[in-house]
Amino acid sequence: MSRLHGRLVVASHNSGKVREIGALLAPLGVEAISAAALGLPEPEETETTFAGNAALKARAAAQASNLPALSDDSGLEVFALGGAPGVYSARWAGPDKDFRFAMERVWRELQEKGATDFSARFVCALALAEPGGETQVFEGEARGSIVWPPRGEKGFGYDPIFLPEGGDRTFGEMTHEEKLPLTHRARAFEKLLAALR
């Protein structure tokens, strides 16, 4: 994989995710453009793993844009729920992307199971694809636990119910700058940057 330079497509239509990835790419001097800004369609996520879905999205964006593409597939795995919602994290929020509804479902299912273990992790798989070339995947995780009720209005997705290990504030209570180094995405990025250096 060559060193990145110039423009790179972030194969996501999630503005929070695109902003986070843009900030992580900034030290490389790479301009991140979202798939939405280029009008690229979102491919159907048909894989059963984060790595599989990330690779599928990166290859589709690289092919459609003829630019290197970086895709992230990430989600929340709750151990007492057998790893759910996992790759279905976004789908649990429904067609309206209502994460309040998704967070309530996580909590309801934990209650229905009579769970006493609230440990969870965010997982991120980053895939970097060259147009017509190879695809590399890098994975990272952030461990923590589920808290209820949700705390904080910052962040996105399941952030308000995720308390990172060793912390006393949820991802939803942290500023973007405080949260970023602790995330699954930052850890996957460390591996990506090491491979590019």
What single-letter DSSP state applies at residue 85? B
Tally of helices (H runs) and strands (E runs) in the chain? 5, 6
pTM as predicted: 0.85
Architecture of domain 7-196: Alpha-Beta Complex (3.90)
Chain segment 118-152, per-residue pLDDT in tens: 999 999 999 999 998 899 999 999 999 999 999 99
Annotated active-site residue in 73, 117, 159, 168: 73
* 73 catalytic residue (yes or no): yes
Chain segment 43-74, per-residue pLDDT in tens: 988 999 999 999 999 999 999 999 999 999 99
Helix, strand, coil distribution of the chain in percent, nearest 5: 40, 25, 35
